[in-house]
Amino acid sequence: MKEVRRHHEFIRVNHFRDLVEAAGIPTMMRNEHLVHGVVEIPIPEFYPNLCVMNDQDYKEACSIFDQALEAEKTHPGEELPCPECEENNPAKSAECVACQTPLKSPKPC
């Protein structure tokens, strides 16, 4: 068994788990029962994390997870993810609601 990714929002890990399992990869979630919703304690050890049962599925599972995460980030406008803790903030926030890190608006290329 190998850990793929961890994230502080259970609902996302659960969503990505569905995607990975849809690709035929058996998975297991750790810390699933420890949290409900968003982890309030910023300690990654407590974050829900997705594992693959078979190590050879690791790369594929990672790429599915990353693509899904990337797809969420590229949705324009609505939310601004914090670079420090990945909390999603309203698009016009000046600082992160969770950790007060200053947020920058994405610059046009």
Which residues contribute to the site for Zn ion (CB under 5 A)? 82, 84-85, 87, 96, 98-99, 101
52 has which bridge partners? 2, 27
CB of 81 to Zn ion, least distance (A): 9
Residue closer to Zn ion (CB basis): 31 or 93: 93
CB of 2 to Zn ion, least distance (A): 28
Residue closer to Zn ion (CB basis): 14 or 101: 101
Residue closer to Zn ion (CB basis): 60 or 86: 86
Alpha-carbon gap, residue 31 to 54, rounded angstroms: 19
Among 67, 57, 54, 66, smallest CA distance to 23 is for 57
CB of 55 to Zn ion, least distance (A): 32
Alpha-carbon gap, residue 7 to 19, rounded angstroms: 15
CB of 85 to Zn ion, least distance (A): 4
**φ, ψ dihedrals at 75, nearest 5°:** -65, 120
Token pair of 27, please? 């998975």
Residue closer to Zn ion (CB basis): 28 or 97: 97
